[in-house]
Amino acid sequence: TFVLPNIIDYCPFKLKINPHYKVASAESDAWFDSFEIHKGAKYTEFHRAKFGLLTAMSYPEASYAHLRNCCDFMSWLFAFDDLTDDGGLRENIEGSKKAAWIMMQALKNPKTFKTEFKVGETLRSFWERACETASEGTQRRFIETTRLYVDAICRQVVNRCRDELPTIENFVKLRRDTSAVKLVFALVEYSLNLDLPDEVFEDPMIQSLEEGANDILTWANDMYSFNVEQSKGDTQNLVVIAMKELGLDVQGAVDYVGNMIRQRIDQYVMKKYRVPSWGEEVDAQVAKYVEGLESWVIGVLHWSFDSERYFGAEHERIKRDRIVTLLP
């Protein structure tokens, strides 16, 4: 066994759940099921993960229409993630490159591009509807961050095929893109119907907050998903890399990552109060955007235990005592 650090209590951000959660999630599930991507045990496993709950925790202030679209996006994201983690693209370099190309075509030409790759078609369908209300800047940032994500996924597949372990430093840099967090942050703008100028996102302090929030939830995700991933032989995980690079056992590596997360939370909180001003109207939108980053962080921390994705039927007990039994 090993004991998880108590990151939830350490994190100062407030958890909120979107009031439209149940209706939006149910409609989105029916939409996703119409593509018939999952069947049998995989279908049950996918829905037990409660991706709609994650969406509601991460976009708590979104309108019904925006939340519904964000739920669709989340189903696409995890379906694609599953394909590259333990599905047909796990060690398929050429297949991953082709899938990446399809994703980008779906975003660049959502009204005309069609594909038989069902996961790609879910992305196209979501994006065509999202473009109806997303600002030009939001659309541009979402497409660019998706490109970074699919490129990083392809590099991760290469690492798996070659059984290569990057250093902690290099893995952290790669993980900022493979986590898809930059995509979900672009959707924070969409979910709140914001229209922020480019200069806000070019500001070093805003970029530092985005990177900090990305690291916190990504490192926490690696810590929570470690048990399932190590049981499948997946080494592309921060806990595994810390074990190898620093010569630590499982508990030592989990504690090390936990301390990294706490330090990152401290840094984020200090920087949050040094965000510059762009005038009253823009500052109000910036405040909503920053709060949206924090909703994502605390939402992921709670959802990881409220879902069966990482801890199965034991998820409620593990949320209480944080004791995890290693899977074979």
pLDDT in tens, 161-193: 777 788 999 999 989 988 889 999 999 999 999
Report CA Rg, the chain.
19
Q: Is 30 exposed, middle or buried (0-12, 13-18, 19+ CB in 10 A)?
A: exposed
Separation between Cα atoms, residue 157 and residue 162, nearest integer Å: 9
pLDDT value of position 220: 98
pLDDT value of position 88: 53
Residue among 317, 316, 318, 291 nearest 15 (CA): 291
pLDDT value of position 91: 56
Q: pTM of this prediction?
A: 0.92
pLDDT value of position 97: 83
- Please name the residues in contact with 272: beta carbons below 8 A apart, sequence gap of 6 or more: 209, 290
Tokens, residue 157: 């597949």
Q: Could you say which residues of the chain have pLDDT below 50?
A: 87
pLDDT value of position 153: 80
Mean pLDDT, the chain, integer: 93
Share of the chain above pLDDT 90, in %: 80
Q: Residue 281 — φ and ψ, nearest 5°? A: -65, -45
Cα pseudo-dihedral 255, 260, 264, 266, rounded to 10: 60
Separation between Cα atoms, residue 112 and residue 19, nearest integer Å: 34
pLDDT value of position 179: 86
pLDDT value of position 150: 87
List, in order of start, the domains of the chain with CATH numbers.
2-324 (1.10.600.10)
Query: CA geometry: angle at 131 spanning 115 and 290, to 5°?
Result: 120
